[in-house]
Amino acid sequence: MRLFRRKDKSGEPWQEEALGLFLFDEVTDALAAERTLKTSGYQVSLVAPPPHLRAGCDLAIALARLEQVGAQRVLAEAGVHVRDWVDDTEESIRVCDVVTTVDFGQWLMVRAGNMKIVVDRDTGDIVNTSGGGCPDIPYLNLQYVGRRLSDVCRPKDVGFTLCGLMLDRAYLEACALLNQRILE
Amino acid sequence: MSLLVVATYPVEGGAVLEGQVTLSDEGGLTVDGSPVPASQGTSALLAAACQTASHMRMSMPRALVAGDIGRGDGTRAVYKRLAETASRVKPTVVVFHYMQPIMTLLRHALAELADACPNAVLVADAGGMYAAKAAGLARHFELMTPDVNEIGFLADPKVTHPAYVGHYLLGGGDFDPVALARKAYESGGSSRVLLIKGAQDHIIEEGAVAAVVDEPTVPALEAIGGTGDTITGLAAALLTAGLDPVDAAICASRANREAGLAMHATPAMRAVDLVAYLPEVLDTNLERWRGHS
């Protein structure tokens, strides 16, 4: 029996609630936690942990403190490993949400943060990916180039890092602009 | 004079490879005789470095790489082998490239290099640059090659990854790579020399503009994965050949643009297409560019 019902909340979680952070050893754990918690109806945000808690390419999840116990149970049930919880979001920073495009005529380039994806407007083919610095980016390049946007899994489901997450944002924007189906 | 590139290649579970890099006429790349897939990233850097080394009649670059698709396993394996490799090879230039940006491992690696090859010139791009900046180690590096999406990251002392620097990114009316480069240098977030890759390439020395390269203009290069990596490969190899870091950066920027022009670049082309034109571009121009930049 579930002790906590799924929640369906709206509104920006940063405005009124006192927040805390789930910390993770791996970016993939953070991404899995985000997916799991959102599926369960929690409103969460991906952020950089405060400086003294960072190890490098890391990611935390901000959540209303009062929801921590239930959310932690959901993550445990889903097998998502959480390193720690801290009752503080001071000095945490949100992930970049700036997305821009460049029109190359036949081709459209979408930038999200430090990542770029280039697609053929007519065919929906991915003709290039670039940017970033984490090792999943050349791997995603090999997996994606030459395939259609609608035929590939989302970068955040294939990649493992913050760079992969930024490529995911560029991918989603490219799908939206070309009216392409997103493979979930 | 030898160049060592420390990085990863995009093969899950791929073995640690250490040795000389070769580039075939068809564009195939090997490290210590084992093929490495051609993609954006370190293979583009290595291919450009090979072409440059060949032009300069130097020994081919060496690489220490391992398979890593983002889990960090290959990155850790490479760091584990670095001290032994550096002690044996005694590189004059070491480049840290596509790797998981793990601060503690880079800090440890720099301490090892200080023992093994204390005079080695350090270059960083991609994950190597992210780790160097995030760990407060950027000042140990002679050259970094951020693109315009990354210079804001170097300038902001609070962030540990470019994914957190939205307000500095392209499109804002106040975006100023020169001001950001100065801020990066003053806050310890940059190397002594920066090559900022963009529509205009800015070469920065100790926080001040040393040169701007904006010709020829080839906008499609930004869309082609790996064409920033080829600049880094060119610059690192030229540095290994003895060029001053500013000259190396300027010549690398020019060569990359000329190759992009020669290949009639479109957004659907590959870095290997650009690499194929580098011998012709270097043969025609490099002597003229050297010292006149």
Return d(Cα B239, Cα B125) in angstroms, integer. Answer: 15
Contact A9, A56 (CB under 8 A): no
CA distance B246 to B266: 29
Residues A111 and A162 in one domain: yes
Of A60, A94, A128, the residue that ends a domain is A94
Does a structural domain hold residue A10?
A: no
pTM: 0.88
Helices and strands of chain A, counted as H and E runs:
5, 9
Q: Are residues A117 and A76 in the same domain?
A: no
A29 and A63, same domain (yes or no): yes
Range of the domain at A157: 99-177
pLDDT the model gives residue A93: 74
pLDDT one-digit tens code per residue, B124-165: 999 999 999 999 999 999 999 999 889 999 998 888 888 877
Is A5 within the bounds of a domain? no
Q: Do the Cβ atoms of B99 and A118 come within 8 Å?
A: no
Q: How many CB pairs under 8 A join A and B?
A: 191
C-alpha span between B183 and B257 (Å, rounded): 27
* Residues A88 and A104 occupy one common structural domain: no
Asked if residue A148 belongs to a domain, the reply is yes
Residues A114, A75 contacting (CB under 8 angstroms) = no
Distance (Å, rounded) from C-alpha A173 to C-alpha A166? 11
pLDDT of residue A91: 67
Amino acid at B18: E
Cβ of A50 under 8 Å from any chain B Cβ?
no
A110: which 2 tokens? Answer: 């979408």
Cα nearest neighbour of B149 on chain A: A114
Distance from CA of B291 to the nearest CA of A (A): 31
d(CA B289, CA B275): 19
Q: Where a domain ends, among A46, A62, A94?
A: A94
The DSSP secondary structure of B68-133, one letter per residue, reads -SSSSHHHHHHHHHHHHHHHHH--SEEEE-SS--BHHHHHHHHHHHHHH-TTPEEEE-HHHHHHHH
- Is residue A157 over pLDDT 50? yes
Other beta carbons within 10 Å of B174? 7
Answer yes or no: are the C-beta atoms of B134 and A56 closer than 8 Å.
Answer: yes
Point out which residues pair with B67 in neighbouring strands.
B9
Is the pLDDT score of B171 beyond 90?
no
Average pLDDT over residues A149-176: 92
Q: What is the pLDDT of residue B293?
A: 52
3-state helix, strand and coil shares in percent for chain A, rounded to the nearest 5:
35, 25, 40
| Together in a domain, A44 and A90 | yes
Same domain, A75 and A107: no
**Which chain B residues are closer than 8 Å to A160 by Cβ?**
69-72
Q: Total domain count for chain A?
A: 2
Can you tell me which residue has the tokens 């983002």?
B70
Task: Pick B131's closest partner by Cβ from A56, A132, A137.
Answer: A56
Residue A25 lies in a domain: yes
Average pLDDT over residues B91-96: 98
What's the CA gap between B126 and B145, in Å, rounded?
A: 8
Determine whether the interchain pair A57/B165 forms a contact, defined as Cβ–Cβ distance below 8 Å.
Answer: no
Q: Which CATH number fits domain B3-287: 3.40.50.1220, 3.40.50.720, 3.40.50.10800, 3.40.1190.20?
A: 3.40.1190.20
Instruction: For residue B225, list chain A residues with Cβ-Cβ distance below 8 A.
Output: 116, 128-130, 141, 145
Decide if A162 contacts A134 (C-beta within 8 A). Answer: yes
Q: Quick one: pLDDT at residue A86?
A: 86
Distance in Å, alpha carbon of B157 to nearest chain A alpha carbon: 10
3-state SS class at B161: coil
Indicate if the pLDDT at residue A58 is higher than 80: no
A residues 112..151 contacting B (CB < 8 A): 113-114, 116, 118, 120, 127-139, 141-142, 145
The nearest CA of chain B is from the CA of A113 a distance in Å of 6
DSSP B203: E
Give the DSSP letter of residue B192.
S
CA distance A137 to B42: 11
Question: Do A112 and A87 lie in a common domain?
Answer: no
CA dihedral A161, A162, A163, A166 (to 10 degrees): 130
pLDDT tens for B54-82 read 999 999 999 999 999 998 899 999 999 99
Residues of A in contact with B165 (CB under 8 A): 96, 113
- Residue where a domain stops, chosen among A38, A63, A94: A94
Q: What is the dihedral of CA A62, A63, A66, A68, to 10 degrees?
A: -90
> Which residue in B has a C-alpha nearest to residue A133's C-alpha?
B126
pLDDT higher than 60, residue B22: yes
Judgement on whether residues A37 and A57 belong to the same structural domain of the protein: yes
Q: Are B45 and B3 in contact (CB under 8 A)?
A: no
Give me A105's structure tokens: 């005529």
d(CA A155, CA A115): 11
pLDDT at B105 over 50: yes
| Residue-wise pLDDT tens digits, A90-121 | 667 777 778 899 999 999 999 998 899 999 99
B281 vs A53, higher pLDDT: B281
Question: What pLDDT sits at residue B159?
Answer: 81
Same domain? A131 vs A70: no
Please tell me the distance from the alpha carbon of residue B187 to that of residue B198, in angstroms, as a whole number. 22
Helix (H, G, I), strand (E, B) or coil at B6: strand
Query: Residue B93 pLDDT > 50, yes or no?
Result: yes
Look at residues A15, A4, A22, A29 and name the one whose alpha carbon lies nearest to residue A160. A29
Element (H, E) at B196: strand B193-196
Report long-range pairs for B111-116 (Cβ below 8 Å, ≥24 apart).
B112/B82, B112/B83, B112/B86, B113/B82, B113/B83, B113/B86, B115/B83, B115/B87, B116/B83, B116/B86, B116/B87, B116/B90
Mutation target to probe the B interface, by most B beta carbons within 10 A, among A114, A116, A119, A127 is A114
